[in-house]
Structure 1
Amino acid sequence: MKILYTNFHQGDGGGHTTYVMSLVRMLRQKSQITVAAPRSSRLLAEAEALPGVESIALEFKGRPLQQWNALRQLRALLRKERFDVIHVNGSADHRLCMLATAGMGAKRPFIVYTQHTDRTANSLGVRMRAKWGTNRVICVCGHTFRRMKQSVFRDEDLRVVHNGVDTDQYQPASREDVVRARAALLPAAMRNRFVIGSNAGTASYKNWMDMVSAVSLLPDHERGQVVILIAGKLPDDEQRQRVYELGMSDQVVFTGLLDDVGPFLATLDVGFVLSSRLETISFACREMMAAGKPVIVSKVGGLTENVTHGRNGWVVPPASVAGVLETVSTILHDRAILKWMGADARSTAMREFSLATFVGQTESVYMEGNGQPDARMRLTS
């Protein structure tokens, strides 16, 4: 099978990059894989480093002339390579692929689109892509599936494939690894404190500031026990100022973007993902749980499909500092629960977050096309 993966994100790309590369690494042994992404993207850099994977630098966003040139480049690539499947992962690359396949008729690849976010899917642009540029839609969680059923996409084209993580790569750390990780990531004075952290990023909608605000409200003797560790793009000046105003500058550590989150996960006692919108299943949440960390999540998107409250983590209302404060206070007063809750988080990951299942189910969606799109999806010039 010949597969083209596309994504429009420049820079890190977050969960989109993790998603595509998880598929590429597993399928490259038995399929011919090409990845098209912006030159500045982490996705392209990682694809270029994999033997047997073709990589194409392509800008899916830009000025009209740039877009026209990108369209010509993509159209030439499609006609030359005759891919069986194009797997698109965002609106910009989806749109360009729709235009590039116009007029290909029976030679048109089977187009699979993954809905990664919780955005409304009913705009004019989405309607065009649903009608003329999509054969199947992969929903990464049950919440997304329910949302997409109310959109312009056909019910019969929707498939639920939960994101998977590598449970061999993400697993509980030894005591020695924890000590080394804390020495690498935390100042000496913080290494024996209680560490609450998130590798979900620093975008405003991730609401990591709710955790900072909640910890700032703890009684002094409890607040001093806690360190908050945040991985992802470094915060902007406004966010840092807010941390300072809360009196938390000495208790919040920002690691920046990490090539390897293993030491970060080893450092944590508890994880959190407190998004207020756009969230679906969260690779970050699943990675933390695979590493044996119970996770505090907001009741948003598909996060509650990962965590069972009181068993392998805690569920709090969205944008609720009070809810986070109550949860953190409860944990600090009964840390003994973390051992068995962490074990349950790991067990849940082993049972439900399988990378092999994720890749196998995604491949099954590709196979539905048998290399030929249905008549409804063929475009004529």
Structure 2
Amino acid sequence: MNAIGPAGFWSYTHRDDQLDGGRIRRLAEAIAHAFEITTGDELHVFVDNTSIAWGEQWRARLDSALTSTTFLIPIITPKFLNSQECRREIITFSSHAASLGLDDLILPIHYVNVPQLTEENSGDEVIQLISRRQWVDWRQLRLEDEDSPGYRQAVNQLALRLKGILETPPAGGPIVVPSGEAEADLPGFLDSLAEMEVALPEWAETVQEFGEVLESLNRKTLESAALMQQSDARGGGFAGRLRVTNELATDLDEPVRKITELGGRYSSELSRIDPGIITMIRMIGEGEVTQEEEQSARETFTQLMVMIVAAREAVPNLMGLSEAAKVMASGSRALRPLMNSIQAAVQQVVDGQTIIEEWGRMIDELGESDAGN
């Protein structure tokens, strides 16, 4: 499908659709039909994120100004939040939309109750992205008959909402910097370079600190395992194991506090520079900067790619830590809050990896484009 008009990408888990008898895919079709009968224009619907057509259109839309006519409609359920692919889709789309000043193009549908969505101060990046938007409550509607007046009216209201967003000019947009102006008048490209100049060393420091805390956690955990073996050898039984576990919980309190702090800092640093980096790459690709500005940006991109590779190599170790934390949380009430904090911090890094891998993809494609010219 070569979609050039409005398009909607449905982000959901296929298992949720199966469990609900295919209603999620039918909802996508119903909204597209309501949009077309309301506006007279076709809304191209992409629902199968495993297909080649979905992937091709996804990349084409992200990399062009057509993003302003593209919607992401995530179907929020507990499984959605547990799906790394769904998390990747919403984070990536949000990054590109923010770089274009188009924040209303994500339209979450709260399909099955997710308690975190109504809680304040969630440390989950995806929860924050959803809660900052006016999500549609479908938790009761999904139980209604699809032909009922209430259900059909809700579908129509969502189609009208899509129509309204398309007809409303964005409040802001990416700052396009005219070449040759004084530096004080360049709030876009040069400010982004300056921001990266400050942020990259801070980011590198955070990654290094993660490694140090991870080493401390592993060391304390191994020491605890050795103490538990000694306790077993002395016939300490479950009481001995419980004593060792409680001591471990006390020992881990400080490194877990630190890793929680680092997770928040890591996420914050990436979110701060993400729109600027995407805008810079896009402006270079479209030839909207001077040769000197482009050279400076490409030197920064070289440093950035080194850090992307380093972060990529660190992720498997962090994922291993998260899995170990999950096992330990299931076996000890004393350790459970600490292990949950570790998993949350690791998730922040994994979500951040989605952002930086997208930078890497765009920088790589920028290089391929240059080679083809």
Shorter-chain TM-score category? Answer: 0.3 to 0.5
The TM-score, its normalising length taken from structure 1, stands at 0.32
The TM-score, its normalising length taken from structure 2, stands at 0.33
Of Structure 1 and Structure 2, which has the larger fraction of its residues in strand?
Answer: 1
